[in-house]
Structure 1
Amino acid sequence: MPFMPFQILGFWLRGLLAAAMLVAGPLLLKYWYDHRHVEVRTQVLAPVDDETRRLDRDVEAPVVVRREDWRFGLNRETAALLGGLALIGLSIGGGSFAYPLLLKRGRREDEPDDSLRGQMRRLRRPDGTDLYVELYGPEDGPPIVLTHGWGADAAEWCYAKRELGDAHRLILWDLPGLGRSSQPTGRDYSLEKMARDLDAVVGLAGDAPVTLLGHSIGGMIILTYCRLFPEALGTRVSGLVLAQTTYTNPVKTTSHAAFYTAVQKPLIEPLLHLTIALAPLVRAMNVLSYLNGSAHRSTHKDSFSGNETRGQLDFMARYMPKGPPAVLARGMFGMLRYDATDTLASIPVPALIVPGGRDPVLLPSASAKMAEAIPGATLLELEGAKHAGLFEYHARFADAVRRFVAATAVAPGSRR
């Protein structure tokens, strides 16, 4: 699932809950183990003679102590045993068994499959980043450069390869620090740095003008690219596809934006710093979140409309433990400083804006504003979709991209 800065709150809440479950389970089992033998104390009433009665003496009855084995039933020991086993079971298997079983198993063609492979390239950048790039599809097809969401990798485009790769030249890349791309030595995860990386990837298309397609932070990187490389628009770039993205700091264009904006400085940013400082711990908590199913629940809530398959949900939930927490946090800092509002009106190429109709992560209203501000923009809402709408409704999305590229692509060797 692509990650936004405000979702760092969920990182920590899910992680701390997962850690608490993993600790509480063994503690309950220890309580059961320590009490599996029960001591029963019984007072034995001894006969009292006449002299004792005459002197009105109190006689303490002797106590007999015997040990009995614990028995399964309505008692604290049974509750501790069952509770401990349940917490440990949920901690290590809830994601695999509990939540995904509630979803339908899709047809084979509906399940995500990243086994398709194209030509693999490595791009060495001046800051030390080694970018992984994959070229897929016919060399003479209209080129599309695909930029994935934050925390994901190029595998997010597995449906695009299957549905667009027969007639288009797809150029997919992993953002720095994610997937098979290395981390920059200077720890620069600003959107400006990623836009310059995108420019290098665009160069792999040769003379053919490309369509830039971006999801979530991918769209933000594209708009930053438009600001930094305006001369490329209409020459090296023939069109833009911006899917489930925003034009400004995403904290301001999400649901409950007023709350998140208020807590950005006092809560979100300190938690991002803490995530960087405690990255190994956060990664362990993210692994537990995936194993116990809370990552699946969060992904379902934010990214899917309820029509996803088990495979689609698990595919996106797996990004939770995969992403390096320090990398994710630094990229989130970059998004907090992002604003492309003034760039929109100066974009001279056609743009297809694709919001998810029910996206709670980046609201459709942000896409509507982009569509109004970009002169050649078209708004196409994926009705019912959330933040992973291009993944859940992949056939509809691919068809929209296909038609857009057919209408806007420039033949190889020509310039606008």
Structure 2
Amino acid sequence: MFMPLDFLLRSLAGLFSLALIGGGAYILRQWYVGELMSDRWLYLGIGLSLWSFLGFLPLLLFRRSGRDEPKPFRSSQTKRIVRPDGSEIQVEFYGSEYAPPLILTHGWGPDSTVWYYAKKQLAEQFRVIVWDLPGLGKSKKPKNRDYSLEKYARDLDAVLSLAGDQPAVLLGHSMGAMILLTFCRLFPERLDNRVAGLILVDGTHTNPLRTTILSRLLLALQKPLLEPLLYLAIALSPLLHLTSWLSYLNGSTLVTTEISGFTGRETRGQLNFSSLIGIKARPGILARGVLAMFRFEETSTLPNISVPTLVIVGQSDIATRPIASDRMSREIPRAELKILSPGGHMALMERNPQFAEIVRAFTASRLFQ
């Protein structure tokens, strides 16, 4: 995931990474030329240098392992959709082609491999369809640099066309939930006809800065600080890609991922997987997506959603706080709210058995009628 809060945390982690490796190198050089005489400076320089490249190891080794750790596996059943803007969408299928379709839309930053548990736990009952948002994973980025929510909603409509004649349930996590709301505004005729229900997971109905932790501060910083930093990230994308990997190696990415996504109950593999999947994408592409989120506003769409809707949120989600999910569940006419506790923004992974059971029950109620 790469919500605005994550951008701020990763920016701080990048600065820390540069300071860490630069500080270690400077101390070692000064000791070598005789400016720093004590051997304590040597040990400090070596320690900082080792931390720069091996700091992730103790953070992972002292965390519990799980019985089923996530892996980036993909299906052999795939299709490619070529879009008018030059992007190409990677679509993958799991389960029987005759089963009712459940289409999963991931959030910003990762790709469809984030659905590791959902694919395993839901494919026996449903035709699970996942796709990589263009610019992420195996999907080709658009030539016109359009990363708007409207572009992705139109892409979702193209993916929906692959579901055949059966009505589908649409599930979106984080920015994926925002894409679903935009889809409802652009394609209201699909509701009830092609779409039997919606599942909005850890999402929001407005600019995510309004529903994140420290929202008043971040909103005040949006124009003077955050937006200029995002445009700078676009210009310096190759350098920031390098600092992202340095942040992972020194462990700071693991820390920021845990803060923004988990509650401390995640396994070693879940934390490592979520950290790695979030740094594969180019920072320039991620920055354009965050800028698009700043323009997102679908509050007025909520009362017009006619299909049954399930809203799921982690009780301790700080990236999109539960107040956003609560409002969506109240303003969408046929909505119900489920809270995963304990759970954060990545409760779909941290609380995967409970998440799958909630999704299974709702989807079955909509598709097995």
Q: TM-score, normalised by structure 1?
A: 0.87
Cα distance in structure 2, aligned partners of 1:7 and 1:112? 21
Cα distance in structure 1, aligned partners of 2:285 and 2:15? 20
Which residue number corresponds to residue 393 of structure 1? 351
Cα distance in structure 1, aligned partners of 2:74 and 2:15? 37
How far off its partner does 1:323 sit?
1.4
How far off its partner does 1:410 sit?
5.7
Give the letter aligned to residue 4 of structure 1: M
Pairs within 5 Å for 1:4-403: 4-35=3-34, 76-95=37-56, 97-107=57-67, 109=68, 111-115=69-73, 117-403=75-361
Cα distance in structure 2, aligned partners of 1:116 and 1:276? 29
Could you tell me which runs of 5 or more consecutive residues in structure 2 were left unpaired when the two chains were aligned. Answer: none
Cα distance in structure 2, aligned partners of 1:379 and 1:260? 27
Could you tell me which runs of 5 or more consecutive residues in structure 1 were left unpaired when the two chains were aligned. Answer: 37-74, 412-416
SS of 2:279 mapped into structure 1? helix
8 Å CA contact 1:216–1:245 kept in 2: the answer is yes
Task: Give the aligned length.
Answer: 369
Q: Percent identity?
A: 47
8 Å CA contact 2:109–2:279 kept in 1: the answer is no
Instruction: Please say which structure displays the higher CA radius of gyration.
Output: 1
Which residue number corresponds to residue 40 of structure 1? none
How far off its partner does 1:8 sit?
2.4
Give the letter aligned to residue 152 of structure 1: P
Cα distance in structure 2, aligned partners of 1:20 and 1:227? 46
8 Å CA contact 1:287–1:320 kept in 2: the answer is no
With over 3 angstroms needed to count, the CA separation of the structure-2 counterparts of 1:319 and 1:27, relative to structure 1, is: same
Cα distance in structure 2, aligned partners of 1:320 and 1:192? 23
Cα distance in structure 2, aligned partners of 1:30 and 1:113? 41
Cα distance in structure 2, aligned partners of 1:100 and 1:76? 35
SS of 1:322 mapped into structure 2? coil
Cα distance in structure 1, aligned partners of 2:221 and 2:119? 40
How far off its partner does 1:5 sit?
2.2
SS of 1:380 mapped into structure 2? strand
Give the letter aligned to residue 12 of structure 1: S
Cα distance in structure 2, aligned partners of 1:163 and 1:29? 52
**C-alpha RMSD over aligned residues:** 1.3
How far off its partner does 1:118 sit?
4.0
How far off its partner does 1:193 sit?
0.3
Cα distance in structure 1, aligned partners of 2:368 and 2:234? 44
8 Å CA contact 1:129–1:182 kept in 2: the answer is yes
Which residue number corresponds to residue 41 of structure 1? none
Give the letter aligned to residue 16 of structure 2: L
How far off its partner does 1:351 sit?
0.5
8 Å CA contact 2:309–2:335 kept in 1: the answer is yes
How far off its partner does 1:20 sit?
1.4
With over 3 angstroms needed to count, the CA separation of the structure-2 counterparts of 1:125 and 1:410, relative to structure 1, is: farther
8 Å CA contact 2:181–2:298 kept in 1: the answer is yes
Give the letter aligned to residue 102 of structure 1: F
